[in-house]
Amino acid sequence: MALLLRWTPQIILILAIAALVLVANPTEDLLTVGAIYAGLLAFASMSLNLLLGARLPPLERLFNGMDKMFLQHRQFGYLALAAAVAHWLSPPSFPQFLAACDDVCKTAIEAGEIGFNLLAILGIASIIRRRSFRGFRIPYHWWKLTHYLLLAAWALACFHLMFNRKMPATYQGLAETLGVIGILCLILYVIGWGLRMARTKTYLVEEVSTGGGVVGIRAHPKGKGIRHRAGQFAFIRAKKPGLREAHPFTISGGEDRDGVVQFNIKGLGDFTKRLHDDLKQGDELIVEGPYGDFSYPDREGKQVWVAAGIGITPFLSFVRSMPDQIRGQVDMVYLVRTPDEAVGLAEFEAAAKRVDNFNFTLHPSEEKGRWPGIQDSTGDLKAVLFCGPPVLRDILKAKYGRKLRFEYFEF
């Protein structure tokens, strides 16, 4: 059921395009209808992927956070690739319209072939990048550069759709309608790009600290900084070799008016390891944001916060901005292997003493064994907030359903 809900937007698109194709011409043979359907579905998926890549705030709110929106972005990419393969394996044939295929029509057909090949190569590269082969993984900055070529694949597919006039008028009208919708998605993508530029600010690094495989960054803005809430994240990059590609990280502090931002980042990949090694005091840090909607409900009742590993960062921003009095009861547990891995431990312990109705527990698994889970004997639990590995997230989601609030780590 959880997997079905996760793919709900794609299922809706699959059914919607099927309904449009059947209404347009229900008398065509099944193979022809299927081929046209696959082509339209591939283009619609690519266009929606483009729209989600615009990072527009209304869409972010609709998907309840950019982490969920990026997950859908990836899934629409997989759907586009699968539908394009189906269309390529069995293309529609209308020999009665061959005479009407002029030079523009023939060019559109060739554009479709080129666009498919490009999409296939980029799609396979994206799938491969998510896996490691004997310790080697395609570097993120290489993959990110090739990812922009999807715009070229989309443009070729759009031209193919709009000007391949070798099919009945009913299908051609539907194809041109989807083409216009796709162009609107492109326009919104350009608007989103402009808004991202407006949300991008330059900071100067004040302090870089390392410990336990985690780098702590504190920076202040050159001019006006971003305005964010506790629990949100930003894309950051630096004007240094190997650090020029933007990556998303939770802002772990800096909600006050002086504009200072803080990040606590674990060295898990190429970019994060370079941050450990190359980022220095005085460097310029480019910050784009804020994004995300991960926040704790300020209301009566009991809630539990569960952080695992570097998933502590949004909770660190919560306690740094938390008032001395809060409504309801918050019990927090921080899961680590050893106490030495804990980030901001002193701040959480101080918050437990300072804030009424806030309890904090550190659970180092090497000392205490496996975490037994949330203990809720009263049954009045109102919300569970989680940030950490997907395996534990899925366990909590299966048990607490809509009470669980979380951020995905997979984007």
Measured between alpha carbons, how far is 333 from 307 in angstroms, rounded to an integer? 6
| Residue spans of alpha helices (H) in 65-210 | 66-89, 103-129, 140-147, 150-163, 169-198
Name, in order, each residue with C-beta under 8 angstroms of 327's C-beta and a sequence gap of 6 or more.
Answer: 298, 299, 300
Has residue 139 got a pLDDT over 80? no
pLDDT band, very low/low/confident/very high, at 353 (cuts 50, 70, 90)? very high
Architecture of domain 2-197: Up-down Bundle (1.20)
How high does pLDDT run on average in the chain? 85
Measured between alpha carbons, how far is 388 from 371 in angstroms, rounded to an integer? 14
Measured between alpha carbons, how far is 272 from 282 in angstroms, rounded to an integer? 18
Helix (H, G, I), strand (E, B) or coil at 376: coil
- Return the domain boundaries, the chain: 2-197, 199-291, 302-406
Stronger pLDDT, 271 or 281, i.e. the higher one:
281
Look at residue 411 in the predicted model and tell me its pLDDT.
Answer: 47
Task: At 8, list the tokens.
Answer: 């709900």
159 in Cβ contact with 108 (< 8 Å)? yes
92 in Cβ contact with 170 (< 8 Å)? no
Measured between alpha carbons, how far is 179 from 186 in angstroms, rounded to an integer? 10
- Tokens 């005479």 sit on residue: 99
Q: Residue 73's CB: how many other CB atoms inside 10 A? A: 19
CATH of domain 199-291: 2.40.30.10
pLDDT band, very low/low/confident/very high, at 203 (cuts 50, 70, 90)? very high
What pTM, to 2 d.p., does this model score? Answer: 0.77
Measured between alpha carbons, how far is 385 from 396 in angstroms, rounded to an integer? 10
Measured between alpha carbons, how far is 225 from 215 in angstroms, rounded to an integer? 22
Peptide bond into 372 cis (omega under 30): no
pLDDT band, very low/low/confident/very high, at 256 (cuts 50, 70, 90)? low
- Tokens 């070799």 sit on residue: 241
Q: Residue 209's CB: how many other CB atoms inside 10 A? A: 10
Look at residue 39 in the predicted model and tell me its pLDDT.
Answer: 92
pLDDT band, very low/low/confident/very high, at 106 (cuts 50, 70, 90)? confident
DSSP per residue over 347-385, as a string?
HHHHHHHHSTTEEEEEEEHHHH-S------SS--EEEEE
Tens-digit pLDDT profile for residues 16-35: 999 998 887 766 677 888 88
Among 119-133, 194-208, 353-367, the range scoring the smallest mean pLDDT is: 119-133
Greatest mean pLDDT among 23-32, 121-130, 199-208: 199-208
CATH of domain 302-406: 3.40.50.80
Measured between alpha carbons, how far is 142 from 186 in angstroms, rounded to an integer? 24
Rounded alpha-carbon distances, angstroms, from residue 266 to 153, 175, 270, 296 = 35, 47, 11, 23
